A and B are shown apart, each in its own frame.
Chain A
């Protein structure tokens, strides 16, 4: 680390005052009397990217919206200054805000599928800032829209401009959204989780696009929950928690030598190669040696394939010749981008979906080949944890009933109500919850607690395999760390095997002993975690690995 770096770390605002585009001092935002942004200050420089990082509820998105005067109803905003190129936005009024939005500040939201108007043509959406600010004629705007789409790397821009957002792929849509935000070449671009809903390879392209805008001198404020995304683009990082900036400094310094405990915790919680065999939420703790029983696989898939007939009558092969073995006490990771067939494979393994061809064996015995009725008594051997636990709970049932119901299907069904309750409470304790959660409705639990209940339910019948389908994808990184730790703790304690499905290479690398990489329904590569990540053979795996934004720690 250089000396200038150090200096900037302490006084991030004062580097070359000429280039300051936006200066915010002591910003406070309250909703209905509750303060969610508690006096934060930062500034944005031309040609540089400031990243505001935080978990859900940190106030980062509210901050972003406040910068364009769209905090929302029922809110109270105050600040010592919100200066955009010397203009005080606080005293500008609605009319003033409108003249700034789109022309001086561009705004990119996440997931263009819902952030672009589905009923209008892409070209009209892209050109809308021009129309709103009275630039050009209808004809010239249409031409400019095509030009903009071309500039953000949309192929066949003239064709795309006439299509509607839902007809474009996720990556192209997000580019169109960015094209719209930079239509008037605003000096400041605010991007609120611009890559969150995207596959890693597409995510990398969008980040490159933002980097290009930065090169041209645009100042970028990037809002993200993902430190690895931030590492790729940001020059400066502000870490937010509970409405306050807990740490603020040059990106390299904050990410490599975090000073605040919270930043350190966030960084440690990111699963990756370095975190294997340690606990994410307790970084100093190591996983004990495990014994994987390489005898008979507990779950075995033989040449599975699944063909779906689309509404147009065309057959699509979603899973194509997939085989794997999962041994006792082991975690097999399946990783792939959306549409790779990984979730379909999981559902076939659970025998909830019938394969078109191939067979699944459970503990060496036929599983998928049996009838529904024959399979029922065997279901206790295989459990499942879904991405969205809430929708997997009957909305009328409290936690206790969910668990006792699952216990009743197990190998040793409870003999009495009292026994059921006792065992359910023991399960709750096993997953880090308490007796008081027994009578709680799942709706009243936090996301992490819900996933814990889902895990407890999966454990209740004492299965030898649990299929985890994106179990931590909807969780904040610190909660994700706790849930992943819980899963590995349970494996160490009970010897249960996991078939672990995820799109997140870091998560997969952290938990898996062996890994399948899937693409378009096929297994393109399989092997030990070390083989896949350190010596990838297949070209797609390599592409995937380079696309992953990673923290270059040490």
Chain B
């Protein structure tokens, strides 16, 4: 209907532009932190402990006089790495399970669906905590824990997506042209099923960063001497009544990065959907 397309005016791309800026910043921080700061994240200055934000220390300093902004910048590599690693792991598991279930069908599908159902009985964070209680807290454990914790949701999504695409007219049309089953899967089913998941994966990175920092915040992820964002929050909790910036400002960074990644993911989603329709 023409009426609908006319009223659904495209949203201003301001959000997308800002998100790109934030993502560029955090990527720079992760890949080349020295571009953004020349200080060291571990430089202790006992004369400048717990200073509130100022021109010299935009994020203030912590209880050892370390510059908080510098620590946040240097922590981004770990936080981002965990986010990417966990999402990659989750999607690897999800793609294998989802495609196997949807394409094999029958008993295999039923079995995988059951396994996912059981996995779903555990909220993501609890599944992650279970992994941590088995392996003890460490960087690698956090990646594995968050990855396993979020895999079942993605797996169900992949399965549904494959089943939906399999119903599509062009799959039947390709078969009617005489293409082999394998060729149809490779050339039509796989790309069309995976494409919308790219956006979901982008959203997943943001979620993973939040989950991972949440674990560290509970003291069950990456331990405090590290400047991983969650660990910074955990370290700052001692001083919450006096030095609010130790908690609030790293939090703002996490929120901004998540928000930016989410916004980009949604833009991507809309683009892909628009192209598909």
Contacts and interface: CB of A to CB of B under 8 A. Distances in A.
A–B contact via C-beta, under 8 angstroms: yes
Contacts of B3: 31, 62, 72-75
B7 interface: yes
A326 to B, nearest CB: 17
Contacts of A417: none
A461 B6 contact: no
Interface residues of A, number: 33
Interface in A397-447: 405-406, 409, 443
A53 interface: no
Interface string B1-41: 01100110000000000000000000000000000000000
A384 B169 CA distance: 12
B177 A409 contact: yes
B276 interface: yes
Contacts of A386: 169, 173
B277 A352 contact: no
A74 B275 CA distance: 25
A142 B218 CA distance: 60
A150 interface: no
A377 interface: yes
Contact of B176 (A73, A75, A352, A377): A352
A309 to B, nearest CB: 16
Interface in B149-191: 168-170, 172-181, 187-188, 191
A395 B192 contact: yes
Given A31-B2, A377-B178, A443-B277, A396 B172 contact: no
A31 B173 contact: no
Contact of A393 (B170, B187, B191, B275): B170
B176 A395 contact: no
B179 A409 contact: yes
A289 B200 CA distance: 59
Is the contact region of chain A dominated by helix, strand, or loop, or is it mixed? Answer: mixed
A392 B173 contact: yes
B6 A395 contact: no
A384 B7 contact: no
B177 A405 contact: yes
A62 B3 CA distance: 9
Contacts of B180: 376
A137 interface: no
B169 A391 contact: yes
A74 B7 contact: yes
B26 to A, nearest CB: 31
Given A386-B173, A388-B169, A395-B192, A32 B6 contact: yes
A394 interface: yes
Contacts of B187: 394
User: Max chain A CB contacts within 10 Å: which of B175, B177, B188, B277?
Assistant: B177
Contacts of A32: 6
B172 A394 contact: no
A36 B178 contact: no
Contacts of B179: 376, 409
B178 A395 contact: no
A392 B178 contact: no
B175 A352 contact: yes
Given A393-B170, A394-B192, A395-B192, A409 B178 contact: yes
A383 B177 CA distance: 7
B177 A393 contact: no
Given A406-B177, A409-B179, A461-B178, A394 B7 contact: no
- Interface size range on B against A: 20 to 34
Contacts of A74: 3, 6-7
Given A36-B2, A72-B7, A443-B277, A393 B178 contact: no
Interface in B254-277: 275-277
Given A73-B7, A377-B178, A352 B172 contact: yes
Contacts of B170: 391-395
A443 B178 CA distance: 24
A364 to B, nearest CB: 19
A350 interface: yes
A36 B2 CA distance: 10
Given A74-B7, A379-B176, A392 B2 contact: no
A380 interface: yes
Given A72-B3, A72-B7, A73-B7, A379 B178 contact: yes
A380 B191 CA distance: 25
A7 B2 CA distance: 38
A475 B181 CA distance: 32
Contacts of B275: 395-396, 443
Given A395-B275, A443-B277, A350 B176 contact: yes
A391 B6 contact: no
B92 to A, nearest CB: 23
A396 B176 contact: no
B91 to A, nearest CB: 20
Contacts of A405: 177
Nearest to A353: B172
Nearest to B171: A394
B7 A392 contact: no
Contacts of A384: 173, 176
A421 to B, nearest CB: 18
Contacts of B168: 391
Contacts of B173: 384, 386, 392-393, 457
Contacts of A379: 176-178
B198 to A, nearest CB: 13
Interface in B188-238: 188, 191-192, 195
A187 B46 CA distance: 89
Contacts of A350: 176
Contacts of A378: 178
A386 to B, nearest CB: 6
B275 to A, nearest CB: 7
A57 B5 CA distance: 14
A384 B168 CA distance: 15
Contacts of A372: 181
Interface string A241-269: 00000000000000000000000000000
B13 to A, nearest CB: 20
Given A74-B7, A352-B172, A386-B173, A396 B192 contact: yes
Contacts of A376: 178-180
Interface in A467-509: none
A509 B175 CA distance: 31
Given A31-B2, A352-B172, A396 B177 contact: no
A392 B192 contact: no
A446 B193 CA distance: 26
User: Max chain A CB contacts within 10 Å: which of B3, B276, B277?
Assistant: B3
Interface string A365-382: 000000010001111100
A6 B89 CA distance: 79
A394 B186 CA distance: 13
A372 B183 CA distance: 14
24 contacts: A31-B6, A36-B2, A62-B3, A72-B7, A73-B3, A73-B7, A74-B3, A74-B6, A74-B7, A75-B3, A372-B181, A379-B176, A379-B177, A380-B178, A383-B176, A391-B168, A391-B170, A392-B169, A393-B173, A394-B174, A396-B195, A406-B177, A457-B177, A461-B178
Which 8 pairs show the lowest CB-CB distances between chains A and B? Answer: A379-B178, A391-B169, A392-B169, A392-B173, A395-B276, A72-B3, A394-B170, A73-B7
